[in-house]
């Protein structure tokens, strides 16, 4: 290791250590501490002392041991080979670690994030002699069968292309282009490095207008998320945060998924690792793993790397965004990240604000979510990064600091409800607490797809759900029999809507994903039942008769039985419903 000694350990007390005799360390510099060369980052400089946050377990580290500075901030390697990989919080490849230290994760191991032995087919797309701006595409690599990796000039680098490699196979650290920046000739490989705490630049931000289609009905229809948007999913344990995140990661229409397992269960990451390669993307027919990058810092891995893991994830996502892709980042769970901040802050003996969290918690949360957006990239294409952050409030209490501050900086909120989860109503997204500020932004997209009726129908069902809530309060006091049939019918229709529409079975081959059009057809059918039924009740048909309509059983099961593109089946159901209500009404004519 050709790094300089920047100081020696003075005190060890968990993951934050103090160095003495420090003169030339830089703020946020990557350092290697002690005889075991543990990875760390300088987080505070004072006099001749430096505070270092160590990303590995510090057991055995003793005062007097040296610390080596690397001269650069904690950065990622970005290039072909990211897709399908699983990394720890500081981008060490876990499968490589497995080969080196076995089943249990060792310490002080360094490994290249991108495999040096692998060769990639590079196809140049920039012409020699051309003037290139930062972010311009130099060439292309077919990284997986569905994703073309675009090799771009790193931000901050521009100039005249002096030479570019011909089409052929290259390793990631071979020079593929030389550029004259005006000051120097710079050799470029397919890898670029980028510090995790600095957002990658884009040309400009666009207002979000296209929904991120998740295939989850309660989300797409009631509380849509836009591409480039941010959403928080808070919920106590067992309410299905991870299940919802997994479902979105599997079926949403993003090009790239970055899944950050931040302080969560080891088996959940294993679940993703074993399941995703076998799942097939309904849109491309390719394995889902081909578009996925995993960042795993499980709950028993070092807490300081947990703090870094979310930045690692968003930096990788921004890198793909800059190539013109739509990226969705799942951060599960941002509360563990906030708690890591709290723990480190405590070790640094900072003055705490609410519940022991540091006073800069809201700033950090804001900085994190603001990295999302729908951008015009430097390369001239459009790309987006959406952030879907799970929040784990203690005791399921949404008034705690992390949930509250997150709410300030996201525009969409999917609150998970304990009672729904207890009744195994999944996804347990509450239709009363949740909201989406993207509704206006994406409604023209829906109108183009489904016609003017969509906005009206959506509004109508939301209104019905509100009425039902009020009616249920009455029912709680006096029982349902006290209500007239017209009001009981509201409860009936909402019950049908919850059963047939809102509930979605993540394990059913058909039900796990609904196309936007299928969602709209389902919603229309349920509303047709409401409109015709309400009319029939006015004509004297009783609620009991309406409930006995045989076609209702088919409506309840349509989510399982009717495939996405089968418009005919929906038309048939609608006709059958009309006939059934006609028959009932004819008796009272």
Partner 1 sequence: MPELKLGPDTERRLAAAREYRGLARIEGPLIFVRKTHPVGYRELVECVDSSGSPRLGMVMDSSDDLVVAQIFEGTQNLTMPDTTVRFTGKPLSLGVSTAMLGRVFDGLGRPIDSGPPPKAEREVDVNGRPINPTAREYPRDFIQTGISAIDGMNTLIRGQKLPIFSGNGLPHNELAAQIARQAKIRGGKTDFAVVFAAMGVKHDVARFFIRSFEETGSSDNVALFLSLADDPSIERIVTPRVALSLAEFLAYEKGMHVLVILTDMANYCESLREISTIRGEIPSRKGYPGYLYSDLAEIYERSGMIKGLPGSITQLPILTMPNDDISHPIPDLTGYITEGQIVFERDLGGRGIYPPVAGLPSLSRLMKDGIGKGMTREDHPHLASQLFAAYSYVKDVRNLASVIGEEELSPLDKKYIAFGEFFETRFINQSPDEDRSMERTLDLGWEALRRLPAEELHRVTDEELDTWYGAEVGG
Comparison of 58 and 221: residue with beta carbon closer to partner 1:
58
**In terms of CB distance, is 334 or 392 closer to partner 1?**
392
- Residue 411 or residue 488: which is nearer to partner 1 going by CB? 488
Q: Which is nearer to partner 1, 66 or 195 (CB)?
A: 66
Q: CB 235 → partner 1: shortest distance, Å? A: 11
> What's the closest the beta carbon of residue 480 comes to partner 1, in angstroms?
7
What angle, 0 to 180 degrees and rounded to 10, lies between the N-to-C axes of helices 334-347 and 361-369? 140
CA dihedral in degrees (228, 230, 235, 240; nearest 10)? 0
Tokens representing 248 are 């979105």
Of residues 356, 388, 385, the one with CA closest to residue 373? 385
The string of DSSP codes covering 203-255 is SEEE---SB---S-HIIIIIS--BTT-EEEEE--TTSSHHHHHHHHHHHS--S
Smaller CB separation from partner 1, 373 or 389? 389
Q: Residue 279: count other Cβ atoms within 10 Å of its Cβ.
A: 16
Q: Where do runs of H (alpha helix) occur along 322-375?
A: 334-347, 361-369
CB 512: neighbour CB atoms within 10 A? 18
**Helices marked H in 276-360:** 303-321, 334-347
Nearest distance from C-beta of residue 214 to partner 1, angstroms: 20
CA 325 to CA 137: how far, in whole Å? 13
Q: How far apart are CA 467 and CA 225, in angstroms?
A: 25
Distance CA 347, CA 360 (A): 15
CB of 392 to partner 1, least distance (A): 6
Return the structure tokens found at 494: 């909402």
Q: How far is the CB of 555 from partner 1 (least distance, A)?
A: 11
Minimum Å gap between C-beta 274 and partner 1 is 5
Query: Which residue's CB is nearer to partner 1, number 318 or number 339?
Result: 339
Nearer of residues 226 and 310 to partner 1, judged by Cβ: 310
**Min separation Cβ 487 and partner 1, Å:** 15
């Amino acid at each position: 290791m050709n790094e300089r000694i920047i100081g020696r350990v003075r005190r060890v007390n968990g993951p934050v250590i103090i160095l003495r005799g420090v003169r030339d360390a830089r703020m946020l510099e990557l350092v290697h501490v002690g005889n075991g060369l543990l990875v760390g980052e300088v987080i505070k400089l004072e006099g001749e002392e430096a505070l270092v946050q160590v990303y590995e377990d510090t057991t055995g580290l003793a005062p007097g041991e040296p610390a080596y500075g690397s001269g650069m901030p904690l950065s990622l390697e970005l290039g072909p080979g990211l897709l399908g990989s699983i990394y720890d919080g500081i981008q060490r490849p876990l499968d490589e670690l497995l080969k080196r230290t076995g089943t249990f994760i060792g310490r002080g191991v360094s490994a290249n994030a991108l495999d040096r032995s692998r060769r990639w087919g590079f196809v140049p797309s920039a012409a020699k002699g051309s003037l290139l701006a930062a972010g311009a595409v130099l060439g292309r690599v077919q990284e997986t069968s569905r994703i073309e990796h675009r090799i771009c000039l790193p931000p901050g680098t521009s100039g005249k292309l002096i030479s570019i490699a011909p089409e052929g196979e290259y390793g990631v650290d071979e020079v593929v282009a030389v550029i004259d920046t005006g000051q120097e000739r710079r050799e470029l490989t397919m890898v670029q490095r980028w510090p995790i705490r600095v957002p990658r630049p884009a040309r400009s931000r666009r207002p979000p207008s296209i929904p991120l289609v998740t295939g989850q009905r309660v989300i797409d229809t009631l509380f849509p998320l836009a591409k480039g948007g941010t959403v928080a999913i808070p919920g106590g344990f067992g309410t299905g945060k991870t299940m919802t995140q997994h479902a979105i990661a599997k079926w949403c229409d993003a090009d790239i998924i970055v899944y950050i397992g931040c302080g969560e269960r080891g088996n959940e990451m294993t679940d993703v690792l074993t399941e995703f390669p076998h799942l097939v993307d309904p849109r491309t027919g390719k394995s889902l793993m081909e578009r996925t990058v995993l960042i795993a810092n499980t709950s028993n891995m070092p807490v300081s790397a947990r703090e870094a893991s979310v930045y690692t994830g968003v930096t990788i996502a921004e890198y793909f965004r800059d190539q013109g892709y739509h990226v969705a980042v799942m951060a599960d769970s941002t509360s563990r990240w906030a708690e890591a901040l709290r723990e480190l802050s405590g070790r640094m003996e900072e003055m705490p604000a609410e519940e022991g969290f540091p006073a800069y918690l809201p700033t950090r949360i804001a900085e994190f979510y603001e990295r999302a957006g729908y951008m015009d990239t430097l390369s001239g294409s459009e790309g987006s990064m959406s952030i879907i952050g799970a929040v784990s409030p203690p005791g399921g209490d949404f008034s705690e600091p992390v949930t509250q501050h997150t709410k300030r900086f996201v525009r969409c909120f999917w609150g998970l409800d304990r009672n729904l989860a207890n009744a195994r109503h999944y996804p347990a997204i509450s239709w009363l607490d949740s909201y989406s500020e993207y509704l206006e932004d994406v409604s023209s997209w829906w109108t183009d797809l489904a016609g003017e009726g969509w906005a009206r129908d959506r509004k109508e069902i939301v209104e019905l759900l509100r009425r039902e809530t009020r009616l249920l309060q009455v029912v709680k006091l006096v029982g349902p029999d006290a209500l007239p049939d017209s009001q009981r019918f509201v409860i009936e229709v909402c019950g049908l809507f919850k059963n047939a529409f809102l509930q979605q079975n993540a394990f059913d081959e058909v039900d796990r994903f609904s196309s936007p059009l299928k969602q709209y057809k389902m919603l229309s059918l349920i509303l047709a039942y409401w409109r015709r039924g309400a009319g029939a009740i006015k004509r004297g048909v009783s609620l009991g008769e309406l409930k006995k309509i045989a076609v209702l059983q088919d409506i309840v099961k349509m989510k399982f039985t009717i495939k996405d593109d089968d418009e005919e089946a929906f038309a048939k159901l609608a006709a059958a419903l009309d006939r059934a209500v006609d028959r009932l009404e004819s008796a009272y004519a």
